[in-house]
Each structure stands twice: as C-alpha cells, then as structure tokens.
C-alpha cells in the first residue's frame, strides 16, 4: 500500500521502497506546489537518482546547471553531485523519482516531515537528520 508523506508544499507518495524491493530501489511520486522547493541543496554518495516529469514544470539545479523538467522528460542525478529543485511555474508539478539502489527508504522523509510539523525548523537538527540518512548538505555559496 503506498505511503504518503506531506511536507506542506511538497508531498511524496512512496510506491516502492528498499524494504519491499530487497534494496533494489526506492520509488516515489513527488508533488510540488507552486513556489515549493527543496530547502537545502545536497548530494548523496550511496545512490543515484532518476526523475521523470509527470505534469507541470519543476526546475532542477544539478551540478550548477539549471534545467526545467517537463512531462515526459527524464533527469539523471549521479551520486556525489549537488542538486536541488524548486517550482517557479505557478502551477503544481509532479515527478516520479527512482533512487538506485534502494538504501534511503521513507524513514528520512518521515523524520524530516515530523521536524517541520513541530514548528520553526532547526537547521542544525535538519542537517543532522540529513547526514544520518546519507544526504550531505551542500556548503553555502
């Protein structure tokens, strides 16, 4: 049964995860509201990420290059490459995200969403959660 994790301007609907794929992949649908974004550019060394546009337009920055992802287009984010995303389009955007191998699972997203729901997010605590789950916040600048 799919699990939905709501961050407010960002919603993830897990379709498959490391637990039911034997670590093969994590797969979720991401819905990004207008002006929604990934608050902290980051990278991960333990998995690659492929994003496929389903509807709307999301803007990704990968390795310093910015690209609009529209329906039917795919974007590959290799491990170790700093990336982030936002929705500047004024309309909701949806993407299918596949992480390979499946080592992240929904636990990171559950924990981060709980932190955000608790009130004003603590950047140090958010960074600690990210690092513990294998996401490395990019240095400012």
Q: What is the CATH number of the domain that holds 30?
A: 2.60.120.10
Total number of domains constituting the chain = 1
Per DSSP, the three-state class of 10 is strand
For the full predicted model, state whether its pTM sits above 0.95. no
Give the structural domain span for 78: 3-137
Tens of pLDDT, residue by residue over 54-105, are 999 999 999 999 999 999 999 999 999 999 999 999 999 999 999 999 999 9
End-to-end CA distance of the chain: 41
pLDDT band (50, 70, 90) for residue 1? low
Report d(CA 85, CA 59) in Å as an integer.
5
Q: How many helices (H) and strands (E) does the chain have?
A: 2, 11
In the predicted structure, residue 31 carries a pLDDT above the cut 90: yes
């Amino acid at each position: 049964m799919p699990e939905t994790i709501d961050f407010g301007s960002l919603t993830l609907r897990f379709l498959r995860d490391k637990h039911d794929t034997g670590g093969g992949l994590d797969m979720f649908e991401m819905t990004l509201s207008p002006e929604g974004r990934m608050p902290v550019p980051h990278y991960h060394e333990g998995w690659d990420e492929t994003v496929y546009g389903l509807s709307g337009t999301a803007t990704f920055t990968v390795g310093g290059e910015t690209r609009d992802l529209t329906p039917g287009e795919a974007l590959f984010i290799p491990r170790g490459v700093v990336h982030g995303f936002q929705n500047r389009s004024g309309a909701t955007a949806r993407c299918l995200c596949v992480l390979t191998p499946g080592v992240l699972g929904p636990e990171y997203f559950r924990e981060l969403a709980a932190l955000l729901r608790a009130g004003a997010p603590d950047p140090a605590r958010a960074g600690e959660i990210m690092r513990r789950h294998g996401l490395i916040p990019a240095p400012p600048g």
